[in-house]
Amino acid sequence: MSNPQDRLNEPTLSTRGLQPENKETPISFLNTDIIPSHLFFNRNHFSYPTLTYSNYWLPINGLVRTPKVFSLQEIAKLPSKTIKVVLECAGNKRSLFEPKIFGEQWEKGAISQGYWTGVSLTTLLEATGINSNAKEVLIEGYDKGKRTDKNNEYSYSRSLPLDKALDPDTIIAYEYNSQPIPFKHGYPLRLIVPNWYGMASVKWIKQISLISSEFKGPYQSVDYVYYPNKENDSDAYPVTIMNVNSTIQQPVNMDIMNTGTHLVNGIAWTGAGEIAKVELSMDQGVTWLEAELEPSYGNYGWISWTYEWSVFQPGEYTIMSKATDTSGRTQPFEPFWNGKGYGYHAIDKVQVKIE
Ligand SMILES: Nc1nc2c(c(=O)[nH]1)N[C@H]1C(S)=C(S)[C@@H](COP(=O)(O)O)O[C@H]1N2
Ligand SMILES: [Mo]
């Protein structure tokens, strides 16, 4: 029998920084795979912007045939779609790199998912028309501030190549889990870019512009770039789609448990196709056992998996999880090292002691 007091225990976000606010989801302690907004991780580069909702408008300009300014009412009347999307920060699991890499020391919780509702960006662009010389769609956020490496003030702005911007599942969202998007997550409008790391999903959209050249803003050409070489910036390339990845939710690292049968459970996700299988190893990767996958999960969500582990020999064990996706990608043993610590996706590991 559980103590009734235990029902009052609630998981909470873990603080990585307060100014700006960066907090992670208690990924090991969720009883749902649709994250309520108060448990959705926060990732910000600046203080929250000040917006006046009463006269919010969305301008679309630049290389379009007819520049337009949309009101929220107009946007709400357009055909909408609702998609379950996992948003993972490119810095998720950065704290696991050895040697350590500077930046927010995210553990495993810079990831969340839920239902986003909005209008396809392509629907809005059909209304404005697109000039033939347009190459990218630039999305500017309302938040701005100084960087440590530059003198000017910058807004949080990012571009998408035209083909990704025109993908019908790239949406201008106005609801999260059937409620207006909470302010901290981009109210009233935010971009949602399925399959890409979270940096692409610009919050608090101020304006959208079509441009003819590669956008070079610092959140595109300095940050969110893989720098594979320790000595210099050669061979750098931009962070885009999510790697294939998995996280063991239970048990948690360094748990002490009895002999017997334990449910090992977790999630797996990818930015290219779907999860094909998740395998576990309790013997340092000598043998791999297939975990049971939840039946269906939607194109852009994570998949939950479980494995019933019977263990009768006391001792210390490392539980490893390894996901493979339908595009043939598998989690490697060693993380892919890069100077800013993005895209950590090595096989997940949890150590436990059986008594
Ligand atoms: N305007 C704006 N959009 C932004 C950011 C930001 O700082 N400002 N952070 C990005 C990053 S790096 C991530 S991982 C996600 C985080 O979204 P969340 O705070 O709703 O979890 O938003 C992205 N969009
Ligand atoms: Mo991020």
How high is the pLDDT of residue 2? Answer: 65
Instruction: Give the phi and the psi of residue 53 in degrees, each rounded to 5.
Output: -65, -30
Q: Which domain holds residue 187?
A: 4-238
For residue 64, the SS3 value is coil
Higher pLDDT, 340 or 6: 340
CATH number of the domain where residue 67 is located: 3.90.420.10
Averaged pLDDT of the chain:
96
CA-based nearest residue to 245, from 48, 32, 93: 93
Give Cβ neighbours of residue 93 (< 8 Å, ≥ 6 apart).
106, 107, 108, 110, 344, 345
| CB of 156 closer than 6 angstroms to any ligand 1 atom | yes
Evaluate the CA torsion angle 267, 271, 276, 281 in order and state its sign. negative
Q: What is the pLDDT of residues 142-201, one digit of tens each?
A: 999 999 999 999 999 999 999 999 999 999 999 999 999 999 999 999 999 999 999 999
pLDDT(281) > 90: yes
Q: What is the pLDDT of residue 13?
A: 97
Q: Relative to the alpha carbon of 200, which ligand is closest? A: 1
DSSP secondary structure letters along 194-258? TTB-GGGS-SSEEEEEEESS----HHHHTSSEE---SSSSTT-EE--BPPPEEEEEESPTTEEE-
Say whether both 14 and 162 belong to one domain: yes
73: which residues sit within 8 A by CB, 6+ positions away? none
β-strand partners of 293: 305
Ligand 1 centre distance from Cα of residue 87 (Å): 10
pLDDT in tens, 227-275: 999 999 999 999 999 999 999 999 999 999 999 999 999 999 999 999 9
Closest ligand 1 atom, CA of 204? 1
User: Rounded to the nearest whole angstrom, what is the distance from the C-alpha of residue 111 to the centroid of ligand 2?
Assistant: 9
Same domain as 143, residue 219: yes
Mark which of 174, 203, 238 sits at the end of a domain.
238
Describe the chain by its helix, strand, coil percentages, rounded to 5.
15, 40, 50
Do 18 and 138 reside in the same domain of the chain? Answer: yes
- Residue 10 CA to residue 162 CA, distance in Å, equals 43
Residues 132 and 52 both lie in one domain: yes
Average pLDDT, integer, range 41-51: 96
Ligand 2 centroid distance, CA of 152 (Å):
22
Give the whole-number percent of the chain exceeding pLDDT 90.
94
Same domain? For 44 and 124 the reply is yes
Total structural domains in the chain? Answer: 2
Nearest CA to ligand 1 atom 18: 42
Is there a single domain that holds both residue 183 and residue 264?
no
What b/e string do you get for 9-24 counting C-beta neighbours within 10 Å, with b at 16 or more?
Answer: eeeebeebeeeebbbb
The CATH number of whichever domain residue 257 belongs to comes to 2.60.40.650
Is residue 279 located within the same domain as residue 184? Answer: no
pLDDT of res. 20: 97
Instruction: Say whether pLDDT at 52 is over 90.
Output: no
Contact 191, 170 (CB under 8 A): yes
Asked whether residue 71 falls in the same domain as residue 207, the answer is yes
pLDDT of residue 291: 98
Would you say the C-alpha torsion 240, 243, 249, 255 has a positive or negative sign? negative
Length of the chain: 355
> Which of 194, 213, 238 finishes a domain?
238
Residues 227, 100: one domain?
Answer: yes
Q: Which ligand sits closest to the CA of 191?
A: 1
pTM of the predicted model as reported, rounded to 2 decimal places = 0.97
Q: Predicted confidence band at 6 (pLDDT cuts at 50, 70, 90)?
A: confident
pLDDT at 83 over 70: yes
Average the pLDDT over 335-355 and give the result. 98
Which residue bears the tokens 């990585």?
16
Contact yes or no for 215/159 (Cβ under 8 A): yes
CB-ligand 1 contact for 202 (6 Å cutoff): yes
